[in-house]
Chain A
């Protein structure tokens, strides 16, 4: 589902990671939780270093800030865990991500979106599906399949 191409419009959840705004396809969102205790998983990849309990299920929690090389700050009152169901290699996988702040769900016209420019970016281009504009800010639509692989 998250491989939805860039030429349609859809509902997106806006969330803040460090000083950037990311947009996630709203159909992937399962729930948004207040921060819960995270159990560390020693030996896991740095951005996937924890698991949380989501209604009796053990779900990995990803810190995309680490993945995107941004500054990871301590949890604030605005911090939320966003639980997503994504498809990896054809199988559904439940994963939570840490958001510094969750804004709202907005309809985005994807016409205004462009592919990630090959230069002028501090992130690896394959992590990014597109870049768009929302309320005068640039927003990033991550390619979750690549991010988690």
Chain B
């Protein structure tokens, strides 16, 4: 059984996110009623569920917030920048109230509400200010609910609803709901008693009644729906527009024009006697109301579509998906084994089945991976708030543009990417972007521009964070690096190489530590985080033009494409995304390389290392050694191996922590024959090779 409070927390987190997005969007288009309504709906649901699950303080704060915000919705106040800022603060306060109720200070909430009211009052009492009452008001009416006809006036709605049998046990009192409906307007209620059983079968705690209500009201559909907000999941409710009566207040009961079924119900339940519109009148009405009816039809279509969408989403705990992935991983291994057996066999049927299973398991693998994939918009969305806050706090007008939000990434990756990206964005805004005066001096527009772009590139996802700020101060980095002894003074280095030093621990170029960045722990942590995800980080900076940081990430952490190689008796996997090409180690290179380990690849010198030596292979070397050329950061390295076996779908298994001191492998996988192959961690392997070489050189010196 899932804890209901847990469900609320999850729901609340989503609602708060919705609210935040809506508020931030609202800042850009203040009169967008769709957004105002989204925000309002989120608030309303929060209030309702909060009260239901016993989060009283949340409910009461949200209630006050909602009341204030209602003025915006009604068009009495406009959504100014100040209002949005306060609303965002209020949203944070709600989050605190929900997540850490003990830390939440009531006085904070009160001061937020006071501010909110002040801002609202000032915006609504501004003489001749926003064309609020006229335009916005009608906009709201128009945009608010598609179910509401364009012209104002009273509308008659036909409501049919039936509660779940257990609704009484859950503490709902249908009579109160009916009272609430009556408050909305003139209301004719008919209880349908068909389902009431004989007395001996009657259970006192079961609700047998369903209701048929004709409601004439000035309110719109969503207000009516709101009456049922807490029981909506436990009831069947249909709300149909019957007729709109402009300027009249008379109570008219008209069966739904386009629903013969409704007429039938009414007749059955005795309401038919109240029907005052004859068939021919209906015919006329039909003509008059055509647009309205169409609108209703559309609305209903949209509703059904929305319901359909709702039903197709299933919330599943992440662990279950992980478990599914594990199982699929094992299936892929077993299938590889089967394929291997089938290859040896002469049985055609068996071969056919093996192929079929291969096809199925690779399909299953893709689907399962797909389940874990989330669009990166989930991540980018969070940063809009961050950028908004940074921009206000630092007084740097700032525009964030994002692209490629639909790019999908493994959920675990999305979670683990959040921190590094926050660091990068803070750095960009705090260090990269100049303040408006500096920008003006540099001849740039006052508003800084920050770009977040995600896109696919082969088996990788690239995430670009770029700003149009001042770029890195290469000279300053150099001085600092020299002061810290990272490089020797006067060492020959390109600007590019110097810039890469900012990924070194302890190197931060701002002199003072700000709230946002400058502690010098940022970039090296970012690099480590990204590398832990088998990703890479590239940095390009142009002085005066800006900085561009590219994160290159694998699509998933669970399965990679690998190149299976053999060194001595051991088999290893090289991640295929890092492999550039494979060449044969010519006898000439082999002999010559005793002195220097370089290959000439189309005119470019590529250093290589012999994995046999590194792994201390004891078996005799193969006659024709191969070189796998991999990219390690900016350079290309050749790995000399005995044999290249081929592509391998690699299900990654982590190494035991007993092997935590072994850095040259990032994991292991199980091959088709059931044996284990280790996955090479190329960057670490290259480091290891470099150290090894140094040691040997030193030894050589000592010997001499």
Interface centre among A37, A58, A95 (most CB of B within 10 A): A58
Question: Count the B residues whose beta carbon is within 8 Å of the partner chain — how many?
Answer: 30
Given contacts A40-B569, A40-B570, A43-B664, contact A58 B657 (CB under 8 A): no
- B668 near A51 (CB under 8 angstroms)? yes
- B571 near A39 (CB under 8 angstroms)? yes
A48 contact from B571, B658, B677, Cβ within 8 A = B658
B223 CB to closest chain A CB, in angstroms? 56
- A58 near B656 (CB under 8 angstroms)? yes
- At the interface, yes or no: B594 with Cβ under 8 Å from chain A? no
Q: Which A residues from 121 to 149 make CB contacts under 8 A with B? A: 148
Stretch in contact with the other chain, from A12-20, A68-76, A86-94, A107-115: A86-94
Q: Which B residues from 645 to 699 make CB contacts under 8 A with A? A: 653-659, 661-665, 668-670, 674-678, 688
A-B contact pairs, 21 of them (CB 8 A): A37-B676, A39-B668, A39-B675, A39-B677, A39-B678, A40-B569, A42-B570, A42-B615, A42-B662, A43-B662, A43-B663, A44-B659, A45-B661, A48-B658, A52-B676, A53-B670, A53-B675, A53-B676, A57-B653, A58-B654, A60-B659
A118 CB to closest chain B CB, in angstroms? 28
Question: Chain A residues in contact with chain B, CB under 8 A?
Answer: 36-37, 39-45, 48, 51-53, 56-60, 62, 88, 91, 93-95, 148
Q: In the complex, A44→B330 CA distance in Å?
A: 26
- At the interface, yes or no: B465 with Cβ under 8 Å from chain A? no
- A53 near B674 (CB under 8 angstroms)? yes
Question: Chain B residues in contact with chain A, CB under 8 A?
Answer: 329-330, 333, 569-571, 614-616, 653-659, 661-665, 668-670, 674-678, 688
Interfacial chain A residues near B654, Cβ < 8 Å:
58
- B675 near A95 (CB under 8 angstroms)? no
Interfacial chain A residues near B675, Cβ < 8 Å:
36-37, 39, 53
- B658 near A95 (CB under 8 angstroms)? yes
Q: In the complex, A56→B676 CA distance in Å?
A: 10
**Helix, strand, loop or mixed for chain A's interface?**
strand
Residue of B nearest to A50 (CB): B676
Interfacial chain B residues near A93, Cβ < 8 Å:
656-658
- A41 near B659 (CB under 8 angstroms)? yes
B655 contact from A36, A51, A148, Cβ within 8 A = A51
Residue of A nearest to B676 (CB): A39
Q: In the complex, A25→B600 CA distance in Å?
A: 59
Q: In the complex, A62→B333 CA distance in Å?
A: 25
Closest A-B pairs by Cβ, 3 of them: A42-B615, A39-B676, A58-B668
Residue of A nearest to B614 (CB): A42
- B656 near A60 (CB under 8 angstroms)? yes
Interfacial chain B residues near A52, Cβ < 8 Å:
676
Interfacial chain A residues near B668, Cβ < 8 Å:
39, 51, 58
A147 CB to closest chain B CB, in angstroms? 11
Interfacial chain A residues near B663, Cβ < 8 Å:
43
Interfacial chain A residues near B656, Cβ < 8 Å:
51, 58-60, 93-95
Interfacial chain B residues near A41, Cβ < 8 Å:
655, 659, 662, 665, 678
Given contacts A39-B676, A39-B677, contact A56 B659 (CB under 8 A): no
Given contacts A43-B662, A56-B333, A93-B658, contact A36 B674 (CB under 8 A): yes
Interfacial chain B residues near A40, Cβ < 8 Å:
569-570, 615
A148 contact from B658, B664, B676, Cβ within 8 A = B658
Q: In the complex, A40→B677 CA distance in Å?
A: 9
Residue of A nearest to B570 (CB): A40
Q: In the complex, A60→B656 CA distance in Å?
A: 7
Residue of A nearest to B571 (CB): A39
A114 CB to closest chain B CB, in angstroms? 30
Interfacial chain B residues near A88, Cβ < 8 Å:
657-658
- B676 near A58 (CB under 8 angstroms)? yes
Q: In the complex, A36→B675 CA distance in Å?
A: 8
- B676 near A48 (CB under 8 angstroms)? no
Q: In the complex, A53→B662 CA distance in Å?
A: 18
Interfacial chain B residues near A48, Cβ < 8 Å:
658-659
